[in-house]
Amino acid sequence: MNRIHTQGSSGAKLDYSLPNITRVLLVHAGLLFAFKVGISWVAFATFMVTYYVKLFAVSGVFHRYYTHRSYEMGRGFCFLWSFIGCTAGQRGPLSWTTVHSKHHQHSDKKGDPHSPVQRGLFYAHLGWLLAKEPLPTSDALVRKYKDRPEILWLDRHYNVPFIALFVLLYALGAWLESSFPALGTSPGQMMLWGGLASSILLLHSTCSLNSFAHVFGIRVRETPDNSRNLWWLYPFLVGENYHNNHHKFPRSANFGVDKRQYDLLFFVLLVFQKLGLVKNVRDASRTLREKDLLAPEPSLNR
Ligand SMILES: [Zn+2]
Ligand SMILES: [Zn+2]
């Protein structure tokens, strides 16, 4: 009896997996250790750094590179960022791409793995992670990466980088505790804030695009789905929150295509391009500027 059956908002039968529910609850319950280990300035700084580095790895690399090929990068740099991406606990790059590609293929239609239009806000946010088994990595993607064994390995062993980060944070915390006791930190504190809390916040930020950014916010451009630009997600997603822009221009590495929109993840890619670490970074705003099509009135809200 590992299944819980219920009805979704659209009437579709939802099929939850008890082991998945237990796993997600336990991970969130881990945050209660904050009452035991406390927080310090160095732990807070570690939380911020790990959060935004993981954000770039997931949004800038799993999303913009693997899924949409909005720029190109070399094999070594790609492996480095893919390894970092796995520390976020959102599975491997090809598995992530499999789910997200389905989202674009069937956006807000039958077949979308996490559409609030089809199955309600909760299912789109977290429910899809509790349901059934996760989608297996697509065979086509595995074939595409057959000459990149390091990526196939990483996709299968996504837990290795996730655990490695905890080991690193433990060692860092132990060193800081013994060498700089005035900082008031500990191995437990570093693991909780840098390993667990930053990954949980990032999970909810990413899932907010699937849920809230398909219900609330502004539709600037017509797309066949219900995607929206959602300004209040900006502090958490620094540009990835221009989700309606992204559905309109999925191949663009720049999501902040209109005036007064600043996609910081795109700016990071531009810096990497200047340093010769990535190339051919695509930017839809350039074409829009040339055609004088920037920021039309947001008249599509409905
Ligand atoms: Zn979407
Ligand atoms: Zn996408």
> Cα–Cα distance between 62 and 83 in angstroms, integer?
11
Query: From CA 119, how far away is CA 126, in angstroms rounded?
Result: 12
Q: Please report which confidence band the pLDDT of residue 293 belongs to, taking 50, 70 and 90 as the band edges.
A: low
pLDDT tens for 45-54 read: 999 999 999 9
Structure tokens at 266: 């795109």
Residues 252-292 pLDDT 10s: 999 999 988 999 999 999 999 999 999 999 999 888 777 76
The stretch 147-176 carries a mean pLDDT of 97
Nearest bound ligand to the CA of residue 211: 1
Q: Which ligand is nearest to the CA of 107?
A: 1
Per-residue model confidence as pLDDT tens digits over 5-50: 444 444 445 678 888 899 999 999 999 999 999 999 999 999 999 9
Distance 124 CA to ligand 1 centre (A): 10
Pairing state of beta strands 72-73 and 278-279?
antiparallel
Domain boundaries, the chain: 3-294
Ligand nearest to the CA of 116: 1
CA of 172 to the centre of ligand 2 (A): 35
Ligand 2 centre to CA of 100 (Å) is 6
Centroid of ligand 2 to alpha carbon of 6 (angstroms): 29
Cα–Cα distance, 190 to 253 (Å, whole number): 33
Checking if the pLDDT of 187 tops 80, the result is: yes
Residue 181 has pLDDT above 50, yes or no: yes
**Span 221-262, pLDDT tens digits:** 999 999 999 999 999 999 999 999 999 999 999 999 998 899
Q: Is the pTM of this model over 0.75?
A: yes
Whole-number Å distance, alpha carbon 257 to ligand 2 midpoint, is: 15
Residue percentage of the chain with pLDDT more than 90: 80
Q: Is the pLDDT of residue 131 over 90?
A: no
Average pLDDT of span 170-187: 97
What are residue 239's DSSP bridge partners?
none
| Listed residue (27, 13, 33, 31) closest to 186, CA to CA | 33
Looking at residue 11, its pLDDT comes to 45
Q: What is d(CA 188, CA 186) in angstroms, rounded to the nearest whole number?
A: 5
The conformational region for residue 183 under phi > 0 = left, psi -120 to 50 = alpha, else beta, is alpha
CA 65 to ligand 2 center in whole angstroms: 10
Helix (H) and strand (E) counts for the chain?
A: 17, 4
For residues 298 and 199, the model is more confident at 199
Q: Tell me, what DSSP letter sits at residue 295?
A: S
pLDDT score at 19:
87
**What percentage of the chain reaches a pLDDT higher than 70?**
91
What pLDDT score was predicted for residue 9?
A: 44
